[in-house]
Amino acid sequence: MAQIVKRAYKYRFYPTPGQAGELARTFGCVRLVCNEALEERTRAYNLEGKRVSSMESSAMLTAWKRSGDYDFPREVSSVPLRQALRHLQAAFANFFAKRAKYPTFKSKRKSRASAEYTRSAFRWRDGELAPAKVAAPLAIVWSRPLPEGAEPSPVTVPKGAAGRWFVSILLGEKVSALPPAVRNVDVDAGVTALVTLSTGEKIANPRHERRDRRKVAKARRSLSRKEKDSANRAKARLKAARVYARVADRRRDHPRQVTTRLVRENQVITVEDLTVRDMVKNRRLGRAISDAAWRRMRSMLEYKAAWYGRTLVAVDRWLPSSRLCSACGASQEKMPLNVRLGECACGTVRDRDVNAARNVLAAGPAES
């Protein structure tokens, strides 16, 4: 059975100096409009107890353009500016619903520079994409093809801290369920091994951050020695951002490959319902847990299982999976982290992670 899902395709592109200048002006106007609207909303709420609606924010944008105080918002497409106001409205809705913190002002240095274009604000013809106010199509590196007959909407153009330009194309894509698989598996997340499967297989942890830790430390030291607001500091900041971007790219790519394989090969996937947000606060293991990207892997399993007709089961986090013997069910009082192999009174010698994975797999049917 096929279903339509929203899927984003992200590509890198290389703008000409003119295109880079136009997009940079758009980013600056988006940031200005967001900050002005946030300031006005905050003033109205604090002084008058009034919530500003989306229509009122849109009217403010028109008034700002006509006032003459700001000339440059009239030089860029109005669509990214109105999209920024819609996103601010969503942020306030999440705040009042207690799903998020109060919106913050956008910083030129720290905030993500991006602009969102709806279908009316870009040209799409014969595989070439040109945002509004940009004369020539963008030089996009099509690292993978778009689905046949794709009609992108909307399109987001972000610029990363490492100076790389991207275009993110959102599509409504038809996804069909995979043929039924005969195998079920448990996925036990770890640090030494990224995941241990109930089949006994262990998938190695690449430890991306650890591999580049010296480069990260060197880049940070170089940045700290540069004079504030100097050209050399800007160059050092860019070098440091490139090192971090390399680590982040690999952190995203590896879980994507692992989760795709798990979803293709298994019908039911059982995981532990871990509270990663609390676990990363551990001073000794927090860095390693963040590097393993457990939370990202869990979210990928969730949406891929929904797309391809698989079942994802989350088992209670308080299940003593490491202390229970998967052969006889006996429980040990303690199982320190440094103990990787254990022997049960029944004579079973078990690997800690494989044993935990098998216990979680056995507990899966009770949770589903």
Domain boundaries, the chain: 2-176
37: amino acid identity, one letter: A
| pTM for the model | 0.81
Structure confidence at residue 84 as a pLDDT band (50, 70, 90): very high
C-alpha distances (whole Å) from 175 to each of 147, 234, 253 are 11, 44, 21
**Strand ranges (E), the chain:** 2-13, 113-117, 122-125, 128-131, 140-141, 155-159, 165-176, 184-189, 193-197, 202-204, 268-272, 311-315, 341-343, 349-351
Residues annotated as catalytic are 188, 272, 353
Distance CA 294, CA 302 (A): 12
Q: What does the angle CA 28 – CA 29 – CA 32 come to, to the nearest 5 degrees?
A: 90
3-state SS, residue 120: helix
3-state SS, residue 96: helix
Spell 308-334 as b/e; 16+ CB within 10 A means b. bbbebbbbeeebebbbbbbeeeeeeee
C-alpha distances (whole Å) from 263 to each of 189, 237, 276, 337 are 16, 39, 22, 29
3-state SS, residue 144: coil
| Contact between residue 288 and residue 311 where contact means Cβ atoms under 8 Å apart | no
Q: What is the mean pLDDT of residues 45-61?
A: 84
Distance CA 108, CA 163 (A): 14
Backbone angles phi, psi at 267, to 5 degrees: -85, -45
Quote the pLDDT of residue 53: 83
The more confidently predicted of residues 121 and 190 is 121
Residue 141: pLDDT above 70?
Answer: yes
Lowest-confidence segment of 86-100, 126-140, 173-187, 279-293 by average pLDDT: 279-293
| Contact between residue 189 and residue 195 where contact means Cβ atoms under 8 Å apart | yes
